[in-house]
């Protein structure tokens, strides 16, 4: 970029950018209330850097491109950093990382080692220990002066009060790292916020920053903050005895420094690696860009550092960043865009869900124009209004969601549009919408609502239910609109003549869809139960009922108490199942499915469970045991593996804990689960063969 777009004078644009960047610096570093995503802030800085590079006469001494963070808040006592806490230069693509490596190559040996670490999305923190005892914690501030948050940081369980006696403690050591809020803690915090009808926290990073700036340290203690140590700042050797030296690990290499910090009692992120050459560093970056959501905390990139500390000192730093390190930033997962409208969709159970209609924006690897708003309470808590700019988040394959509004900018904004109100009638059929007492969800009261019909039939054919390939929502909507589908039983009356005159259906696509419908007739009972879409009844509950009663007739004839007594069901699901089968309309659909030849029995003893596993159903070998599955097992879906565990009396949660009996590893397992299993000493089951043995015997494979 040579000049700003649109013919704007570079001097005018540079001044605008400085005002904007300083404003957003204050919102981010001082107030913990950023209004724009990191990616858009980075774009402002890069634009100003480009103008200052092309027009050196426009550079000013106090430009934000040469500073770090923001001035310390007056709420806390100032702390002068003995060694400045600098920022990092960024690389946003492999070419920029390569350019950094090329600059280094002029000054360092070709075989120089680098350390790659995850860039934690948290709050930079400086911890000072004197003679092995914790004495102070300070924020980054502007890099030179931070805020004294000693009492608040002392409540974080990860941070030791004193260094482990096995290490030789310097007279003074300043340990730097990142305070962060784990995703589970953030979700729990927002759950509590929702219950008290308070505004929801935007993301874990802002929640961590706000928690650290509480005047009452007891509030900070309730926020479940954590810490990763990643570097050493100030170091002073002991003076007694005279001539004492610093531990060799702290002055030789970055990798050895991390190892020393770990022995001293600090948590060190396990996902760091010493690499040689740019190709290995890039491979590390690409791996974590793909697997960033396998972790229990948020990252926004990878930090690449020269390992040799003497080389670090030789390379030095600019006014704001060291030359020996760079942050490789991942593509943004949050962007700002205009909220055009809020509309409501009707699901298979009649649930009315508000969603955002957005100006299309590229975020999280794809272009997003729709995003969920969950329910009426979430819209109110987030206070988003059509016609305003909003922050949109898309994390990997997660459904996009609106995070919150962009309320004001550096120059201010006019009065806000009126609040959005939830509709009182169904947008699909015009029937009244009703919110159930004590619940956050709103429902259409018309059981014959066409919107519900499309969703019910689409769900019936979904992969986790009857798995009718080719029966997507668009096709269901087409068939319903033509009067070919009223309920799921109508699917089994389809013939080649059904598709006569329908554009887009050739002989092959007709044969494929009819073949998929035919194959679905033999699905086990628990898949049929899932497909019926009974409220509250999911895959685990369906499997539990199918195994307990064996046949659909057994479930229908069982009373509510008998249903509730099944392990994994309980009174809420039992009441919902009994109510569903009490409906004359629903029983009529089930009778038609039965007459169409749809299977209504569950494979019993001596028959296969989890189809692709192909092992006999044995006794309940995993009763009371929790088995976590991570990665892909050959010839077996995740759902089938979990079903096989549950069928044998076990549980298959999504996370590893001290109560986990075993972790089953497939191809490309989640790194966070593997790490947690290693940390807790949880036994590991490798591959399909060992998994099958576990199912058959309930015992772990021998180590021999």
Residue from 616, 602, 611 nearest 547 by CA = 602
What is the pLDDT of the chain when averaged over all its residues? 83
pLDDT tens readout for residues 268-295: 999 999 999 889 999 999 999 888 878 8
Contact by Cβ (8 Å): 451, 346: yes
pLDDT at 403 exceeding the cut of 90: no
More confident residue, 307 or 625: 307
Residue 608 pLDDT: 36
pLDDT average, residue stretch 417-427: 92
119 noted as active-site residue = yes
* pTM tops 0.75, yes or no: no
In angstroms, the CA 552 to CA 566 distance is: 15
pLDDT average, residue stretch 149-176: 92
pLDDT at 152 exceeding the cut of 50: yes
In angstroms, the CA 86 to CA 324 distance is: 12
Residue from 383, 405, 325 nearest 115 by CA = 325
pLDDT at 529 exceeding the cut of 90: yes
Model confidence at 416, pLDDT cuts 50, 70, 90, reads confident
In sequence order, what DSSP letters do the residues of 543-576 get, joined into one string?
Answer: HHHHHHH-BHHHHHHS-HHHHHTSTTTHHHHHHH
Which of 147-156, 195-204, 444-453 has the largest mean confidence? Answer: 147-156
Within this chain, domains 78-329 and 611-697 share the same CATH topology: no
pLDDT at 424 exceeding the cut of 50: yes
pLDDT at 614 exceeding the cut of 50: no
pLDDT tens readout for residues 334-359: 788 999 999 998 888 888 989 999 99
Question: Is residue 273 classed exposed, middle or buried when 0-12, 13-18 and 19+ CB atoms within 10 A define those classes?
Answer: middle
Q: 525-595 is classed in which CATH architecture?
A: Orthogonal Bundle (1.10)
Beta bridge partners of 551: 601
Measured at the CA of 247, the angle between CA 245 and CA 249, to 5 degrees, comes to 140
pLDDT at 481 exceeding the cut of 90: no
What's 392's DSSP letter?
Answer: E
pLDDT average, residue stretch 659-676: 79
Residue 611 pLDDT: 38
Give the per-residue SS3 of 426-488: CCCCCCEEEECCCCCCEEECCCCCHHHHHHHHHHHCCCCCCCCCCCCHHHHHHHHHCCCCCCH
Q: What's 611-697's CATH class?
A: alpha beta
Residue 308 pLDDT: 94
Q: Residues 334-405: name the CATH superfamily.
A: Nucleic acid-binding proteins (2.40.50.140)
pLDDT at 233 exceeding the cut of 60: yes
Contact by Cβ (8 Å): 73, 27: no
Residue 568 pLDDT: 66
CA dist 345 to 350, 421, 434, 616, Å? 9, 15, 14, 43
Lowest-confidence pick of 8-17, 139-148, 571-580, 585-594: 8-17
In angstroms, the CA 345 to CA 343 distance is: 7
pLDDT at 572 exceeding the cut of 70: yes
pLDDT at 2 exceeding the cut of 50: no
Residue 334 pLDDT: 79
pLDDT at 383 exceeding the cut of 70: yes
In angstroms, the CA 199 to CA 697 distance is: 50
Residue 618 pLDDT: 43
pLDDT tens readout for residues 428-449: 888 899 887 777 788 887 867 8
Four-way CATH pick for 78-329: 3.30.470.20, 3.30.230.10, 3.30.470.30, 3.40.50.2000:
3.30.470.30
Contact by Cβ (8 Å): 137, 125: yes
CATH code of the region 450-520: 1.10.150.20
How is the chain split into domains, by residue range?
A: 5-66, 78-329, 334-405, 450-520, 525-595, 611-697
**Catalytic choice (106, 119, 651, 673):** 119
- For residue 8, the Cα-to-chain-centroid distance in whole angstroms is 40
In angstroms, the CA 176 to CA 140 distance is: 10
Q: Residues 5-66: name the CATH superfamily.
A: Helix hairpin bin (1.10.287.610)
pLDDT average, residue stretch 87-115: 89
pLDDT tens readout for residues 30-72: 555 666 666 677 777 778 777 877 777 777 766 776 655 545 4
Contact by Cβ (8 Å): 363, 393: yes
pLDDT at 623 exceeding the cut of 90: no
In angstroms, the CA 521 to CA 501 distance is: 27
Contact by Cβ (8 Å): 540, 554: no
In angstroms, the CA 374 to CA 443 distance is: 13
């Amino acid at each position: 970029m040579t000049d700003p777009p649109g013919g704007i004078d570079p001097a005018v644009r540079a001044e605008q950018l400085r005002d904007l960047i300083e404003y957003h610096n204050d919102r981010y570093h001082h107030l913990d209330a950023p209004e724009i995503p990191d990616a858009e802030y980075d774009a402002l800085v890069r634009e100003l850097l480009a103008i200052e590079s092309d027009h050196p006469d426009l550079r000013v001494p106090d430009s934000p491109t040469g500073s770090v963070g923001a001035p310390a808040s007056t709420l806390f006592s100032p702390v002068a950093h003995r060694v400045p806490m600098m920022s990092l230069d960024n690389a946003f693509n492999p070419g920029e990382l390569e350019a950094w490596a090329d600059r280094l190559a002029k000054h360092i040996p070709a075989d120089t080692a680098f350390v790659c670490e995850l860039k934690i999305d948290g709050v930079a923190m400086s911890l000072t220990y004197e003679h092995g005892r914790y004495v102070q914690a300070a924020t980054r501030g502007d890099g030179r002066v931070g805020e004294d948050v000693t009492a608040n940081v002392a409540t974080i369980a990860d941070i030791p009060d004193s260094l482990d006696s096995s290490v030789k403690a310097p007279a003074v050591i300043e340990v730097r790292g990142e305070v962060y809020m784990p995703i589970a803690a953030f979700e729990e915090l927002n759950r509590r916020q929702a219950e008290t009808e308070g505004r929801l926290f935007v993301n874990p990073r802002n929640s961590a920053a706000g928690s650290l700036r509480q005047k009452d340290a007891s509030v900070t203690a309730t926020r479940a903050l954590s810490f990763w140590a990643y570097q050493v700042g100030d170091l002073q050797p002991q003076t007694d005895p005279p001539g004492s030296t610093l531990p060799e690990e702290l002055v030789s290499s970055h990798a050895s420094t991390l190892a020393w910090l770990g022995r001293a009692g600090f948590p060190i992120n396990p996902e760091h690696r010493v690499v040689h050459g740019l190709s290995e560093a890039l491979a590390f970056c690409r791996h974590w860009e793909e697997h960033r959501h396998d972790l229990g905390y948020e990252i926004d990139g990878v930090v690449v550092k020269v390992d040799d500390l003497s080389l670090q000192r030789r390379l030095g730093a600019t006014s704001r960043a060291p030359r020996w390190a760079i942050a490789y930033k991942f593509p943004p997962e949050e962007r700002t865009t205009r909220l055009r409208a809020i509309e409501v969709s009707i699901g298979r159970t009649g649930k009315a869900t508000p969603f955002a209609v957005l100006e299309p924006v590229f975020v999280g690897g794809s272009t997003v124009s729709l995003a969920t708003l969950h329910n009426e309470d979430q819209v109110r808590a987030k206070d988003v209004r059509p016609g305003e700019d909003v922050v949109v988040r898309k994390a990997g394959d997660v459904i996009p969601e609106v995070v919150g509004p962009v309320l004001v900018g550096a120059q201010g904004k006019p009065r806000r549009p009126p609040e959005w109100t939830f509709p009182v009638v169904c947008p699909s059929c015009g029937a009244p919408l009703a919110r159930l007492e004590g619940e956050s969800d709103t429902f259409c009261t018309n059981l014959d609502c066409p919107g519900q019909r499309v969703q019910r039939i689409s769900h019936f054919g979904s992969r986790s239910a009857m798995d009718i390939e080719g029966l997507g929502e668009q096709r269901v909507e087409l068939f319903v609109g033509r009067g070919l589908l009223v309920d799921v039983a109508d699917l089994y009356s389809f013939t080649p003549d059904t598709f006569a005159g329908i554009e887009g259906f050739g002989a092959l696509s007709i044969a494929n869809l009819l073949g998929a419908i035919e194959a679905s007739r033999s699905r086990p009972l628990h898949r049929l139960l899932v497909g019926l879409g009974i409220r509250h009844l999911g895959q685990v509950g369906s499997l539990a009922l199918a195994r307990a009663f064996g046949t659909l007739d057994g479930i229908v004839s069982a009373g509510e108490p008998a249903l509730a007594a099944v392990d994994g069901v309980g009174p809420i699901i039992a009441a919902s199942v009994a109510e569903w089968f009490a409906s004359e309309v629903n029983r009529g659909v089930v009778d038609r499915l039965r007459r169409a030849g749809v299977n209504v029995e569950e494979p019993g003893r001596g028959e296969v469970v989890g189809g692709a596993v192909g092992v006999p159903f044995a006794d309940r070998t995993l009763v009371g045991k929790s088995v976590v599955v991570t990665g892909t097992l050959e010839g077996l879906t995740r759902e089938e593996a979990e079903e096989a565990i549950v069928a044998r009396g076990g549980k298959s949660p999504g996370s590893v804990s001290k109560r986990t009996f075993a972790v089953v590893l497939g191809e490309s397992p989640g790194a966070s689960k593997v790490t947690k299993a290693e940390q807790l000493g949880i036994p590991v089951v490798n591959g399909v063969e060992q998994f099958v043995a576990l199912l058959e015997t309930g015992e772990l494979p021998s180590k021999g």
